[in-house]
Structure formats: C-alpha cells, structure tokens
Amino acid sequence: MTYDIAIVGAGIAGASLAAAIGDRARVLLLEGEERPGYHATGRSAAFWSETYGGPDIQPLTTASGVALQVGGYLDPLGAVHIGRDDDAAAIAALLDEFAATPVALSAVDPQPLIPGLRADWTLGVSEPTCAYIDVARLHGDYLAQAARSGTSTVNSARLSSAVRRDGVWRIETEDGRSFEATILVDAAGAWADEVAVRSGVRPIGITPYRRTMVQLQTDPPVPATLPFVIDVRGGFYFKPEAGGRLWLSPHDEHPVVAHDVTAEELDIAIAIDRLERVVNWRVVRVERHWAGLRSFAPDRLPVYGMAEAGFFWFAGQGGFGIQTAPAAAQIGAALLLDTPLSVGLDAERYTPRRFGY
C-alpha cells in the first residue's frame, strides 16, 4: 500500500497533524519508540502561556487557546513574571513587546501574590490567562482521533532511510520494515535533522536542548493558589502541583545530541539554589527529577512547509509545541492538503524557505 502521507514522529506534533488531516488522506504515523510521546511530549512542564516563546509564537498560542479551552484541556493557573529593582528595563520590555497583541498583561506588585517571596523581588507583570494543560489527555485524544480517521500508527519504527523515486518515498526502518508514501513529513522533534539526512534532504540546523525539571516538597507546602512564577530574565520558573508540591526548572538550555536525556545533579542544585534566592521556603526533599528535549531552528521559530519535492518539515517547535498544537496542526494540514487557512494564522512566517530551500 502507498500512503498519501507518512509522518515520522508520533509526539504532539505528529499526532496533532495526523488528527487534523483526518480522513482526507491515507496517513501513516511512524514512531521510533515503543509508545508515542516518550521524549519531549511526555516530559512537558504542562502550561499554556501566551508570552512563552515570544511575540512570533504568540499568534499560534492564542489561536490554539480557543480549541484547548473548548476541549477542556486547560485549567486556570495565572502567571506572574517577577524581577528585582534592577530588572525594570526587562519588565518594561516584556510589557512593550506584547503591547500590540491581545495578550492581557499588567504591572503588579508580586509580594501579595507569592507567599514567602523575598523582599528584593519588587517588580511583577501579571499574565492572568496562563493555564495548566492536560498534556497526556490532549496527546492521547489526538492519537485516538487520528486512529478513528484511518491513520495507521506503527511504533518501534525508527527510520533508517527514505529514498524518493518516481514520486514515491521508499521508507525503511531499522528493524527491516518497509513502507511507501507520496509525501514524507518530518515531525521527529529532536531527531528532525537526523531524519532529513537519512532522507537525503539538507538539514536545517535544528538543535536539541536539554531542559531540567524538579518536583519538590517544601515547608511550608506550596499553596494551591500560587501562580506560575517566571523570572523576567529567564533564570527559572516554577508552578504549584497537587499535594502542595512544586515543579521547578532552572530554565536551562544545554545543546545535546538527541538521546534519552536525564537531569544532571548540577542542574538540579542550580535550580534549588535559584529558588532559595526567590522565596523563603525550606526544601524538604527532591521527590523526582527529569529532563526533556526542546528543539529549535536557528531563528527559534518552528518550521512548517515543503522543503523540496515531497519532503515536509513540521519541526523546531521548541518548548511550545504542546501549547501551539491546534494552530500548528491546522497550518500543517492546510499546506499538505492545499486547503484554506483560518484567518489570523500566517504560514509564511514559519516556512522552510527562509533557510534557502
């Protein structure tokens, strides 16, 4: 059987795209791991923030927010970006760069909003629309929706090579299986460049970065009313979780070769040290820690579109792939099926042609 579209990668990118295509094409979804979403999708910090990723990502996030809210995937959280007195310029820059967008931001005093906040953190910006995302349910629903529409999903199918002849891709997996498709979609996340090379396509330079997350028990326990707290200079973020726990990241970015990453002890220590400079809570224990991969193109924008005959990029979604999934999938499906795109979404902003294709 020759599929119309073969998508490499069944994380949030590939799963959402397959669901958006639906029954309008014969779709094959190839996943290299034993189960989809093992890497970046399964290790997300699980929040939706219209400022995350900057103003070039905001249109995707805002457009996705409607679908995520209607689907019941968002729960209220709220966010506060905080800084010290010498961060006034960074606070002003944050407000300025989103002033022309629909994002609701306002200057606030962070002290009453964050119990235990140390006295030198005097500046804040409120982002009330920030929300939790039910990542597991969203990803699972996309996979289920794709399956109902006829998508064939094959796990443990890591791509070995893909060769295009006579308008058809011959796809080989490392375990010796073969598939055929007219269009090959690279939704392989941290492995996107590797998939391109194995398909004879010039890579973009998408780089995987390791990001650390730590779950802590603190004294006093973290109040459920705590907002998502973000350092305006990008040195940390943390948010409340069930049972008075805290999810904390040092907002680190370590370029790595794509692999099954784990948290480094030094990064865990850095995260805790930064937290203790922000609040006067005592860290009782580190309950668990993990790391995930965030993959960026050189300009840190996602890449959606045809690079050359039959090869379609759907990658470079950084740490914002989940919060932008509905809009990104709509762009991908519209480009693949040559159908109209919703008003407010600009596919040209994310085209691979900006890299010389």
Tens digit of each residue's pLDDT (9 = 90 or more) over 260-314:
999 999 999 999 999 999 999 999 999 999 999 999 999 999 999 999 889 999 9
Q: Which of 296, 313, 339 is the last residue of a domain?
A: 296
102 CB-side CA count, 13 A: 10
> How far is it, in rounded angstroms, from Cα 206 to Cα 296?
5
Domain assignment present for 120 = yes
Tell me the CA distances in angstroms from 235 to 26, 47, 186, 293, 298, one per residue in order: 45, 17, 32, 18, 21
For the beta carbon of residue 115, count every other beta carbon within 10 angstroms: 14
pLDDT tens track for 189-215: 999 999 999 999 999 999 999 999 999
Q: Domain check: are 29 and 139 in the same one?
A: yes
Q: Domain check: are 280 and 219 in the same one?
A: yes
End-to-end CA distance of the chain: 30
Domain assignment present for 52 = no
* % residues pLDDT > 70 (the chain): 99
Question: What's the CATH number where 190 sits?
Answer: 3.50.50.60
Q: Domain check: are 222 and 289 in the same one?
A: yes
CB 191 within 8 A of CB 183: no
Q: Domain check: are 214 and 284 in the same one?
A: yes
Q: Which of 296, 325, 340 is the last residue of a domain?
A: 296
pLDDT tens track for 329-346: 999 999 999 999 876 789
Give me the number of domains the chain comprises: 2
Q: Can you give the pLDDT at residue 113?
A: 97
Domain assignment present for 215 = yes
Q: Domain check: are 110 and 238 in the same one?
A: yes
Three-class DSSP category at 114: coil
CB 329 within 8 A of CB 143: no
Sequence-ordered strand ranges (E) for the chain: 2-8, 27-30, 47-48, 74-76, 79-83, 106-108, 123-127, 131-133, 152-154, 159-165, 168-173, 178-186, 207-219, 228-231, 237-241, 245-249, 254-255, 282-296, 303-308, 311-315
Domain assignment present for 58 = no
Domain assignment present for 68 = no
Ramachandran category for residue 54: left, alpha or beta (phi over 0 → left; psi -120 to 50 → alpha): left
Q: Domain check: are 145 and 273 in the same one?
A: no
Q: Can you give the pLDDT at residue 357?
A: 87
With a cut of 70, say whether residue 125 has pLDDT above it.
yes
Q: Domain check: are 120 and 211 in the same one?
A: yes
Q: Domain check: are 292 and 164 in the same one?
A: no
Q: Which of 252, 270, 296 is the last residue of a domain?
A: 296
Q: Can you give the pLDDT at residue 93?
A: 98
pLDDT tens track for 170-184: 999 999 999 999 999
Q: Can you give the pLDDT at residue 246?
A: 97
Domain assignment present for 193 = yes
Q: Domain check: are 211 and 197 in the same one?
A: no
Measured at the CA of 138, the angle between CA 132 and CA 140, to 5 degrees, comes to: 140
Q: Domain check: are 284 and 321 in the same one?
A: no
Q: Which residues lie closer than 8 Å to 265 by C-beta, 6 or more apart?
A: none
Question: What's the CATH number where 238 sits?
Answer: 3.30.9.10
Domain assignment present for 60 = no
Domain assignment present for 72 = no
pLDDT tens track for 239-254: 999 899 999 999 999 9
pTM of the model: 0.95
Q: Rounding to the nearest 10 degrees, give the CA dihedral for residues 152, 153, 157, 160.
A: 50
Residue 81's pLDDT band (cuts 50, 70, 90): very high
Instruction: Read off the pLDDT of each residue in 63-77 and give the average, rounded to a whole number.
Output: 96
Q: Which residues lie closer than 8 Å to 243 by C-beta, 6 or more apart?
A: 221
Instruction: Read off the pLDDT of each residue in 148-167 and give the average, rounded to a whole number.
Output: 96
Q: Domain check: are 211 and 292 in the same one?
A: yes
Q: Can you give the pLDDT at residue 34?
A: 84
Domain carrying residue 141: 2-42+135-205+298-355
Q: Can you give the pLDDT at residue 45?
A: 76
Q: Domain check: are 92 and 122 in the same one?
A: yes
